[in-house]
Chain A
Amino acid sequence: MPDSSTATALHVEEHNPALLHHFADAEQQRNSASLGMWVFLATEVMFFGGLFCAYLVYRLKYFGDFGAASKTLAVGLGATNTAVLICSSLTVVLAVWAAQTARRTLLIGSLVLTMLLGLVFLGIKGIEYKDKFEEHHVPGASFSFEKVPIPGHPGQFADPRHAQLFFSLYFVMTGLHALHMIIGLGIFAWLLAMAWKGRFTPEWHTPVEIGGLYWHFVDIIWIYLFPLLYLIDRHP
């Protein structure tokens, strides 16, 4: 707002500092911000959609090989991470509610807790990646997937080339998701700094709301990644 001084001079009667000039009222301003975030999330759906589509095509084409490769992932760690993200989604809605109702301590506490849970998620993901490196399941020159039986087909072994395709998709999809988590942590660090300075009020806390939308979206992506990557062909 470079000309805010002239604007206040012209409209002395009422000027809410939280309301930008080109919006009719605070509600319209809030709705516009959240709509903008939703449009961005729609592009993210298409972004991840391409990967889900590639997964679908190759899962159907190399059904047994994908099952064998999926079985090598650690379900316990994956399920724990799902629960961790669900907990973080709860702390995010608590943060939004705290901002709406001017509860500063709860707001700051929820933001800190969300970031901690995000870090726990990334830490567990890091342990899983480390295991995959040690097992030579990372696509590349040292990839090795010999004599791994195909679930439900005794005596048949997975084709390492097809299994490598599964792990390529696994690392790209979870890696892209982890990148979104890291960006989310950056956004929440900024929200925390703003909340610490007391910038958010019940009238204006739009960043908390749309930052929350982003975090929930990243949670939804994981809700689909978990069963698709970890839980196919688990039964004995």
Chain B
Amino acid sequence: MSGNSKSSPLPTYFAVFFALLVGTALTVYAASLDLGRFNAAVALTIASIKATLVALFFMHVKGASEKLTKLVVISALFFLLLLLGLTMTDYATRLWS
């Protein structure tokens, strides 16, 4: 956890805040362009960058002294990818129906 002796975290908070707002504007703008199959990829990439910013700086994963916290975050992502990935190995490869 961040101690009081450290320099103020406020500039970081406001920088992340503005980055999140810019990301939102960017994703709305990108959706109005015809990027073919890449529309979804661009939207999800921007969303993931925003989510990472929130987790690292607002939820203090970056400064967490406890390694277990990082382990829990990574496990959650790992099992989510397992859920989505293994489901897709079935649905995305069905040659029938």
Report A's interface with B, CB cutoff 8 A.
27, 30-31, 34-35, 38-39, 41-42, 45-46, 49-50, 52-53, 56-57, 60-61, 75, 79, 82-83, 86-87, 89-90, 92-94, 97, 100-101, 202, 209, 212-213, 216-217, 219-220, 223-224, 226-228, 231-236
Contact = CB atoms under 8 A, between A and B. Distances in A.
Nearest to A79: B28
Interface of B: 1-2, 4, 9-10, 13-14, 17, 20-21, 24, 27-28, 31-35, 39-40, 43-44, 46-47, 50-51, 54-55, 58-59, 64-66, 68-69, 72-73, 75-77, 79-80, 83-84, 87-88, 91-92
A232 B31 CA distance: 7
A92 B9 CA distance: 13
Contact of B32 (A30, A34, A235): A235
A93 B80 CA distance: 27
A202 B2 CA distance: 11
30 contacts: A30-B1, A31-B65, A34-B1, A35-B68, A35-B72, A38-B72, A38-B73, A41-B72, A46-B76, A46-B79, A56-B84, A56-B88, A57-B87, A60-B92, A79-B24, A86-B20, A86-B21, A90-B14, A90-B17, A216-B54, A219-B54, A220-B55, A223-B47, A227-B44, A228-B44, A231-B31, A232-B31, A232-B39, A233-B39, A235-B35
Contacts of B17: 86-87, 89-90
Contacts of B35: 235
Q: Is the interface of A mostly helix, strand, loop or mixed?
A: helix
Contact of B66 (A34, A224, A232): A34
A38 B60 CA distance: 11
B37 to A, nearest CB: 11
B39 A223 contact: no
A234 B32 contact: yes
A231 B54 contact: no
B33 A100 contact: no
B50 to A, nearest CB: 5
Interface centre among A53, A231, A234 (most CB of B within 10 A): A231
B83 A50 contact: yes
B9 A223 contact: no
Contact of B13 (A30, A97, A226): A97
A58 B32 CA distance: 23
